[in-house]
Amino acid sequence: MNLSFTLFFLFFMALMATQRVRETFFRKKIKHGRIVKKWTLPVLSTFHFAVGLGTVVEYFAVQREINLTITLLGFSMFSTAFFLRKWAINTLGDYHSIHIEIREEHPLIREGPYRYIRHPYYLSVIMELLGFPLVANAYYSFLFSLLFYVPFLYVRVYFEEAAMVEKFGDEYLRYKSHTWGFFPIKLLEKLKNF
């Protein structure tokens, strides 16, 4: 096992965990709204923790030669996810929540990354949860994330979109018809015709 890489990985993991705990639990307190399907957060959090723990355990338990190309791919995914998540959170401002939460005065956000896709925050989480295991070449954890976390995240998106339709009605349906859920494919189509 390469000591330099192990130290890099442990530092990266500690930095990631500290940032996520700070972002989740130490945000300023704001007025709360109606929370829908509250049970989805503990399920996703459990999967999220399992991917992180599984990645660490797999790194130390399964002695693999580290493929730096895979590590760089994972690190690139994770880094891109970090900036996309920050952009999404900053765009939402006080309306960002770790729950599916609709406030009474909640506007429909269509700026920033929401101009291009409806779920930039969730896309960033998917990229993070697939990228983190790749940093450590933890392929079993990558598969767990792909087969369990990502499908359940899509379940949560289904519930969130239903809540958005209930809150905004036709306004959200029009927004939905003009933007993709996770990838700005319509933007790519426009560029192709340019």
pLDDT digits (tens, 9 = 90+) for 57-75: 999 999 889 999 999 999 9
Q: How far apart are CA 188 and CA 183, in angstroms?
A: 9
The whole-number pLDDT of residue 33 equals: 83
Strand residue runs (E) in the chain: 34-36, 100-102
Per-residue model confidence as pLDDT tens digits over 92-120: 988 888 888 888 888 999 999 999 999 99
CB burial of 110-132 (b: ≥16 within 10 Å; e: otherwise) equals: eeebbeebbbbbbbbbbbbbbbb
Amino acid identity, position 28: K
Residue 128's φ and ψ, nearest 5 degrees, are -65, -45
pLDDT for residue 29 is more than 70: no
Q: What is the CATH number of domain 30-192?
A: 1.20.120.1630
Residue 78: burial class (beta carbons within 10 Å; 0-12, 13-18, 19+): buried
Per-residue model confidence as pLDDT tens digits over 121-143: 999 999 999 999 999 999 999 99
CB atoms within 10 A of CB 40: 19
pLDDT band of 39, cuts 50, 70, 90: very high
* CA atoms 47, 93, 123, 53: torsion sign: negative
